[in-house]
């Protein structure tokens, strides 16, 4: 089983490295190429974003499948696999915010993020404030799901533990 855990650990480290490489490519497109005169166009942005999102969905599917295959087939391991996939997908939603934070140039709170689907697809006025609030909410929900997932076995174990009398 230790060999399986080591292999799984290397797989997840490789996955993190792959996501970091994709994030760097995204940084090159969204930062460096603009410095060389790249002009925004929907004709290249939509295929680029589609390829980026497809890549994240494939990574999420690989993470879920690999975890499920390498573990005993239990409902708990299935939930863990699904949570891993959801974590990959939801974390990828934060890329723009992470790059702005990395560059120490977060746009003004009321600046409209016109490139986000909330704006151009749904017509919502999506600003930096909305993106930060969305990220905090999504990350909080995700952290809560992981906390519930890991505390359930602990609660069951504690409920089965013999109770000591207080009258000793």
CB distance 48 to 114 below 8 Å: no
Beta bridge partner(s), residue 127: 112
pLDDT at 160: 64
Domain boundaries, the chain: 1-92, 104-162
pLDDT at 159: 64
Query: Reduced to 3 states, what is the DSSP secondary structure of residue 112?
Result: strand
Q: What is the pTM of this model?
A: 0.70
Structure-model confidence comparison of residues 163 and 71, the more confident one:
71
The rounded mean pLDDT for the chain is 80
DSSP string covering 123-151: ----BHHHHHHHHHHHHHHHHHHHHHHHH
Buried b or exposed e, range 86-104, using 16+ CB within 10 angstroms? bbbbbbbbbbbbebbeeee
Q: What is the pLDDT of residues 39-82, one digit of tens each?
A: 888 898 889 888 988 998 998 898 888 888 877 878 888 888 88
Q: What is the pLDDT of residues 29-42, one digit of tens each?
A: 877 888 888 888 88
């Amino acid at each position: 089983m230790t060999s399986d855990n080591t292999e799984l650990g290397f797989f997840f480290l490789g996955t993190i490295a792959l996501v970091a490489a994709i994030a760097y490519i995204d940084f090159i497109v969204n930062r460096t190429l603009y410095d060389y005169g790249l002009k925004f166009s929907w004709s290249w942005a939509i295929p680029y974003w589609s390829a980026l999102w497809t890549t994240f969905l494939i990574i999420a599917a690989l993470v879920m499948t690999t975890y499920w295959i390498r573990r005993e087939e239990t409902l708990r391991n299935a939930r863990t696999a699904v949570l891993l996939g959801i974590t990959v997908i939801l974390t990828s939603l934060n890329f723009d915010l992470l790059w702005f934070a990395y560059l120490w140039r977060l746009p003004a709170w009321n600046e409209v993020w016109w490139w986000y689907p909330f704006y151009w697809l749904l017509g919502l006025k999506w600003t930096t404030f909305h993106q930060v609030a969305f990220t905090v909410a999504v990350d909080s929900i995700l952290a809560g799901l992981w906390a519930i997932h890991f505390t359930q076995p602990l609660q069951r174990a504690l409920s089965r533990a013999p109770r000591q009398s207080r009258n000793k």
